Amino acid sequence: MNKSDASNRDRVTRFLASRWGLAAAGAVIGLLASLLQYAGNPPNMGLCIAGFLRDIAGALGFHRDSAVQYLRPEIAGIVLGSASAAVVFREMKSRATSAAGAFFLLGAFAMIGALVFQGCSLRMLLRLAGGDLNALPGVAGFGAGVLIGLQFIKAGFAPGRTEPVPPILGWIAPAAAAGLIALGLWNPQFLDGGPIFSSAVGTGSLHAAVWISLGAGGIIGFLAQRSRFCAVGAVRDVRLMGDWTLMYGLIGLTAAAFVANLLLGQVQVGFLDQPAAQDQLAWNFLGMLLVGWASALAGGCPTRQLILAGEGRGDSAMFLVGMFIAGAAAHNLGLVDPCVTGSMPVTVHPAGMAAIAAGLVGCLALGLGMRMGRRGR
C-alpha cells in the first residue's frame, strides 16, 4: 500500500464520518430505496431489512405464506458491500462476545416488533417519505425504545467483552450472502414445487430486477459501512452527547427519498389505504418500541447489524439469525397477517399483541439479568 492510496482512504473516511458526509450517504441510500420501489419493489418498501429477511425465509421454505416468499438480493448485496468496504479499508475483523444466545433473542424480539409495525427502522423512514402517516407513532416508539435501552446500558447492561475469534468465523455471513446470490441465480427446485419458492401474488411478487437489487444493495452496504449509518446510534448520540452527526444520515435519507418519491409519483399522504401498513396507532408505537429497545441492547439497528455481520461481527450474525427464525415463526404461528397485498389494511392479531408483550418482558429480563455488576454473584 502506497501513501497516496492510504491518504485517499483517509479522506473518504473523514468525509463520510462528517455531518455532510452522513447526510450525503443517507441521501444516496434514500434515493436508491425510492428507485428500487420504482423499479418494482413493493410500495413504500424499497428496502426493509425485516421484511426482506422474512421473504428470504419464505423462499427457503421456512414458512409457507405464499404472499411473502422471494430471495431478496438486496440483503446479500448489503452484506457483501459491507464486507468489501471492510476489506478495502482494512476493517475486516472476526470478533464476538460470549452472549450469542442473547443476540439471537434480541433479533427475534426486533423482528416481531417490526412485523407488527410492518417494517424495520429503515422502512419506518421510507414509509414517512412515501406519505404514510401511520409511521409517525412508530418513530416515537422507536425513539422511546432506544432511550429505554440506553437507560439499561447506563445501569450496567453489557453482553460481555468482544474478543477476536478465528478469521473464518467472520466470513460466515459474507459466504451465506454469496450462497443466497447463487441460489437466486440458479433457482434450483430441490423438491417438487420448491424450494426455492417465489410468490405469484402479494408483496413477495413485487421486486426489481436481480442485478438492480444486488447493485443497489452493494452500494448501500459500502456506504453504510464507511459512514457507520445507524438509527440507534443516531438517537444515542443525540441523547448522550448532543451530537447530531449520525442523525444527519437519517435526515438525508428521509429527505432524499421524499423528493425522489414526489418526482416519481410515489407519495400518498394520509393514514388510510397505505400499502402494507396497519392503522392501529398504539400497536405501531409498541411494535417499534420493541424494535428500538432490542436494537439498543444489541448495539445497533437491523441495518447496522447487517453491516457489522458483513465486517466479521459474530454477534450481529446471530441477531440476524434470530430475525430470520422469528420472521418464519411469526407467519407459521399466525402472529401477523398472512397476506400483505396492495393497500389492503393489515390486522394486528391477538397472538401478535401477545408476542409484543412477551418481547417487551424479554428485553426487560435481559436488561436486568445482564448487568455487569450482577454477574458472578
Distance between CA atoms of 354 and 280, rounded to whole angstroms?
15
C-alpha cell at 156: 450496567
Question: Is residue 239 pLDDT above 60, yes or no?
Answer: yes
H-assigned helices in the chain: 3-16, 19-39, 49-59, 73-88, 100-117, 121-129, 135-154, 167-170, 172-186, 210-227, 231-241, 245-264, 281-298, 302-310, 314-332, 350-369
pLDDT the model gives residue 273: 87
Mean pLDDT on 273-284: 91
Mean pLDDT on 71-87: 97
pLDDT the model gives residue 341: 46
pLDDT the model gives residue 20: 95
Give the chain's mean pLDDT. Answer: 93
Question: Is residue 376 pLDDT above 70, yes or no?
Answer: no
pLDDT the model gives residue 377: 42
What pTM did the predictor assign? Answer: 0.94
DSSP string, 99-143: -HHHHHHHHHHHHHHHHHHTS-HHHHHHHHHTTBTTHHHHHHHHH
Question: Is residue 345 pLDDT above 80, yes or no?
Answer: no
At 101-120, the pLDDT tens digits run 999 999 999 999 999 999 99
